[in-house]
Amino acid sequence: MDFKELSKLVLNGEGDHLEFKLKSNHPEKIIREMVAFANTSGGKLLIGVNDNGELIGLSYADEDEYVLEKALKNGIEPALNYKLEKVRLPEGKEVLVFNIPKGTERPYYILGDNGTKKVYVRVADKSIQASKEAREILKGYTKNKSLRFTYGDKETHLMKYLSENLKVTVSEFAKLVNIPKKNASRTLILLVLTNVLGINYKEIEDEFYLL
């Protein structure tokens, strides 16, 4: 990527596949964005770009690169696949461009204190923490097993509901067919993995819809 291509790219603004960061002061926040891209559909993370798309650049890009690559190595599991490019600006500073493809070993985890692990996904211009359902669906995509489900009364009610309301949450489905939320969750996860439903990741409750 050259300066002209970079200038054109930032005009699109932040979104599903593009994130701007001015500096690498908080590497833990930056690698969270990378994990979210890998867990969703990939994207580009630009370091040295203001939120409004202004190309500020980094005076010591090698130092920022070192900090971020160390954070990537120690703070993510499994290892994240990415490609790094450096784009020089006319005044001599550089912008780091991390290209993160859609991961093949999802879900990717951010490793926290005391052995905690968190999963993030990308929604529009935000990276949000994944729900239990989202994590299980990501695991299912990676396993890539042939799955089947029995089409019973609760699925019949669900299809009718979705034909009229377009989307449903775990809580709504559980209430609709009078089953525990954990059973509703399991059913919706299975229907996504068998390509009957799709999922929209949300900060409060994910939404499921007919494909």
Calculate the CA 140 to chain-centre distance: 16
Spatial CA neighbour of 79 closest among 71, 88, 89: 71
Which tens digit of pLDDT belongs to each residue from 6-62? 999 999 999 999 999 999 999 999 999 999 999 999 999 999 999 999 999 999 999
Alpha-carbon distance 178 to 169, whole Å? 14
The pLDDT, as a whole number, for residue 115 is: 84
Which tens digit of pLDDT belongs to each residue from 106-148? 999 999 888 899 999 999 999 999 999 999 999 998 887 777 7
Taking the complete model, does pTM exceed 0.85, yes or no?
yes
Alpha-carbon distance 34 to 49, whole Å? 16
Q: Do 122 and 138 fall within a single domain?
A: no
Return the H-helix or E-strand segment holding 97. strand 94-100
Mean pLDDT of 186-190: 95
CATH for 102: 3.30.950.30
Domain that holds residue 148: 133-210
Q: Do 110 and 162 fall within a single domain?
A: no
Number of domains in the chain: 2
Whether pLDDT at 102 is above 90: yes
Contacts of 71 (CB under 8 A, 6+ apart): 27, 28, 30, 31
